[in-house]
Amino acid sequence: MGDKANTAAGAAGRALTADRPTAVRNVVLVGHSGSGKTTLVEALAQTAGALNRAGRVEDGGTVSDYDEIEHRQHRSVQLSLVPVGWDGYKINLLDTPGYADFVGELRAGLRAADAALFVVSAAQEADAVAASTRMIWEECAAVGMPRAIVVTHLDTARTDFGELTEVCASLFGRDDPDAVLPLYLPVRGEEGADGHAPATGLVGLLSERIFDYSTGVRRENPPDDAQRELIAEARARLIEGIIAESEDETLMDRYLGGESIDVKTLVDDLEKAVARGAFHPVLAAAPAADGGTQGLGTLELLELITGGFPSPLEHEPPAVTTPDGQPRPPLTCDPDGPLVAEVVKTAADPYVGRVSLVRVFSGTLRPDETVHVSGHGLADRGHEDHDVDERIGGLTSPFGKQQRPMAHCIAGDLACVARLGRAETGDTISAKDDPLLMEPWSMPEPLLPLAVQAHGKADEDRLSQGLSRLVAEDPTLRLEQNQDTRQVVLWCLGEAHQDVVLERLRGRYGVQVDAVPYKVSLRETFGGTSAGRGRHVKQSGGHGQYAICEIEVEPLPPGSGIEFVDKVVGGAVPRQFIPSVEKGVRAQAARGVAAGYPLVDIRVTLKDGKAHSVDSSDAAFQTAGALALREAAAEVAVHLLEPVAEVQVLVPDEYVGPVMSDLSGRRGRVVGTDQAGPGRTVVRAEVPEIEIGRYAIDLRSVSHGTGRFDRAYARHEPMPPHLAEKVREQA
């Protein structure tokens, strides 16, 4: 590449509006935290003319000015859209967080994009590159998403571009390393005092031209003899890699026969191979030099995006059904087709309210029209099912803190929509007279609990509304109202996710909350058979209270619950009061008899009792039943039962040993292992839930960020006596 015209269509001051899907490119940037994704987005925007020479938008901000939390934490925590114009194309750059806790934002970016740029820092160790990006690369490969690799931070002293491209080939091109090759090699300037020579330009392996960026504006020069000799081997390997992926089956024979293949043919074949996800070029990029407007490699990257990455027409939209599940014909990216769009991100703006970032897959979305909003009904995460009609507000195109009005948004494009009060992330927007529902994208299961409580009385009134808004924005967040422990629990993806959740509650919604220790739902049960007598007799002048009952309690197998058996003879307890005794027993069982946890797996047999013709009542026998159960508990050992989870841990083979050792240290029982594809193993174990409260964090450490796990409730089992005693003391 590198032979196309160098023309830029600036986006400053106005919204870019695409008039046809073929003029749109949706690109998501993926990479480890600190790899330089946001800096790269700003460099591309400046090269495209969307920023001024100082790299700022008109209001003095930058394209990354989006969330105050990001500024305070010095890291991206959410998906952001930066549209730029280039050579007649609208390029939607989707900048994603690189930290593992915000993988939900990354998945949203993958859903909205048609191609991916994997950003790799030359300053990172190879292990960091592998741990943070390999699984996402495989996800993209599974759906055939085109991918390219961009190397940043070439100015670091230990940079070795050749070595890093080999690392990328081994990590991302396991099946075909020759499908991951550089298109350009960096040209180094003079060595500095530290002995490091900064990259000042690139040499195009196909065009055999030198692109000099030393002044901040690209200048094209022919290579000298030494440079030509230096690139000969890399150029030959690149040509062979392109020809190997060519759809022209005669090209390889012609090349091996000694024919010189012209550059235009190679570029055309390269772009086709990139577009169908068969070839993954490696490029280098850096911000512009002081006073310059074009960063190193940014022009080449824009040329790759517009020439090699596919348009939305080449990306098959997700499947759709009617809201009640009836299948519908596959969608096409047609601006004149039925309206189908998806909310890929929801944010709250303090001035305009809820703002939804949507990708239009079919039809054309226009301001102020009434649309149908269909929800997926993720009830287990606090997202209720809904099908409603709503009138949308204006359409805008974001750029930093600015929102620039759009006249419409066609199929294949993205826009921000105001005033969608009911829409949540993942919802489908369609025509009100033809409602549809898109197949949802996969979201990671949040497995790190955060128990919260309102700081004061005023916060209690706002807490429910704040929590509902949070889960509407973030589908990776699960809200649980635990009836056993009476706790409000937010299930998150990690500690950083927890910090953002708390900060948004306090700063965005004005709800002061306190994080409290998370409680596991324990149970109690009898360790043997026991008997108890409940006597509730009170005489205080006037109407008194009189109820006596005698019960026998025996343990039952796990999962039996509570059985109540009536064996009263002779009417010792009148028939109308037997349900009262049962009600009292069950109420006391729900409150617990030893440490305040529900009592389960027992049979309570009512054997005898006494009543008074005047003073006996329903309330009196309820109290007597509760007293009898408490007395029976005092005469026998009461065991604490803890929940045990079935855990499945997916890790690379090299971490199986450390993972199994770690699980054993958590009182876990490893029950088996299974192969899960090349180099991956699933470790199956049963682990007490009290031991895996922070496992989402600890597994990341044990597996160097490469492990994932699922958990499911299995059963309750007796807790070891020494641990049970600690729980009783705390209770």
Task: Name the token pair of 442.
Answer: 């996969």
**DSSP collapsed to 3 states, 528-553:** CCEEEEEEEEECCCCCCEEEEEEEEE
pLDDT band at 5 (very low <50, low <70, confident <90, very high): very low
pLDDT band at 623 (very low <50, low <70, confident <90, very high): very high
| Residue 86: predicted pLDDT | 94
Q: What percent of the chain has pLDDT over 70?
A: 90
Nearest to 420 by CA among 463, 377, 383, 371: 371
Long-range contacts of 497-500, Cβ-Cβ distance < 8 Å, separation of 24 or more: 497/101, 497/102, 497/446, 497/448, 498/448, 498/450, 499/73, 500/69, 500/73, 500/77, 500/101, 500/102
Give 11-56 pLDDT, tens digit per residue.
Answer: 344 567 888 999 999 999 998 888 889 999 999 999 998 875 555 5
Residues 6+ apart with CB under 8 A from 35: 98, 119, 120, 121, 124, 152
Residue 37 φ then ψ, to 5°: -65, -50
- Max Cα distance, the chain (Å): 117
Give 549-575 pLDDT, tens digit per residue.
Answer: 999 999 999 989 999 999 999 889 999
Residues 6+ apart with CB under 8 A from 544: 537, 538, 612, 614, 615
Coil, strand or helix at 611: coil
Strand ranges, E, within 159-314 = 180-182, 184-188, 199-204, 210-212, 219-221, 280-284
529: buried, middle or exposed (CB in 10 Å: 19+, 13-18, 0-12)?
A: middle
Mean pLDDT of the chain: 88
| Residue 171: predicted pLDDT | 83
Q: Are strands 280-284 and 147-152 parallel, antiparallel or unpaired?
A: parallel
Alpha carbons within 13 A on the beta-carbon side of 671: 9
First to last CA, the chain: 70
| Residue 296: predicted pLDDT | 92
pLDDT band at 520 (very low <50, low <70, confident <90, very high): very high
| Residue 10: predicted pLDDT | 39
Q: How far is the C-alpha of 713 from the C-alpha of 25, rounded, in Å?
A: 44
Give 285-326 pLDDT, tens digit per residue.
Answer: 988 877 778 999 999 999 999 999 999 999 899 999 998 889
Nearest to 603 by CA among 571, 652, 556, 638: 556
Distance from the Cα of residue 433 to its chain's centroid: 33
Single pTM value for the model? 0.86
User: Which residues partner with 488 through β-bridges?
Assistant: 452, 481
- b vs e for 216-225, b when ≥16 Cβ sit within 10 Å of the residue's Cβ? bbbeeeebee
Contact predicate 448/497, CB 8 Å:
yes
Nearest to 213 by CA among 119, 269, 292: 292
Task: Name the token pair of 651.
Answer: 């890790």
Q: How far is the C-alpha of 359 from the C-alpha of 415, rounded, in Å?
A: 7
Q: Considering only residues 661 and 228, tell me which one the structure prediction assigns the higher pLDDT.
A: 661
Task: Name the token pair of 360.
Answer: 């239009």
Coil, strand or helix at 610: strand
> What structural domains and CATH numbers belong to the chain?
21-242+275-314 (3.40.50.300), 320-438 (2.40.30.10), 449-516 (3.30.70.870), 523-636 (3.30.230.10), 641-730 (3.30.70.240)
Taking the CA atoms of the chain, what radius of gyration do you get in angstroms? 32
Coil, strand or helix at 603: strand
Residues 6+ apart with CB under 8 A from 256: none
Coil, strand or helix at 678: coil
Coil, strand or helix at 150: strand
Other CB atoms within a 10 A radius of the CB of residue 62 amount to 22
Residues 6+ apart with CB under 8 A from 700: 100, 494, 707
Give 145-203 pLDDT, tens digit per residue.
Answer: 999 999 998 877 566 788 888 888 888 887 788 899 999 999 887 766 555 677 889 99
Q: How far is the C-alpha of 16 from the C-alpha of 6, rounded, in Å?
A: 19
Query: In the predicted model, what is the mean pLDDT of residues 81-91?
Result: 94
Q: How far is the C-alpha of 558 from the C-alpha of 482, rounded, in Å?
A: 22
Contact predicate 608/572, CB 8 Å:
yes
589: buried, middle or exposed (CB in 10 Å: 19+, 13-18, 0-12)?
A: buried
pLDDT band at 256 (very low <50, low <70, confident <90, very high): confident
User: Which residues partner with 354 through β-bridges?
Assistant: 348
Dihedral, CA atoms, 255, 257, 260, 263, nearest 10 degrees? -10
Residues 6+ apart with CB under 8 A from 77: 67, 69, 70, 97, 99, 102, 105, 496, 500
| Residue 348: predicted pLDDT | 75
Dihedral, CA atoms, 607, 612, 615, 617, nearest 10 degrees? 40
Q: How far is the C-alpha of 536 from the C-alpha of 33, rounded, in Å?
A: 66
Q: Is the pLDDT of residue 71 over 80?
A: no
pLDDT band at 126 (very low <50, low <70, confident <90, very high): low
pLDDT band at 694 (very low <50, low <70, confident <90, very high): very high
**If you ran DSSP here, which 8-state letter would residue 668 be given?**
-
Strand ranges, E, within 419-476 = 428-431, 437-438, 448-454
Nearest to 706 by CA among 100, 150, 126, 121: 100
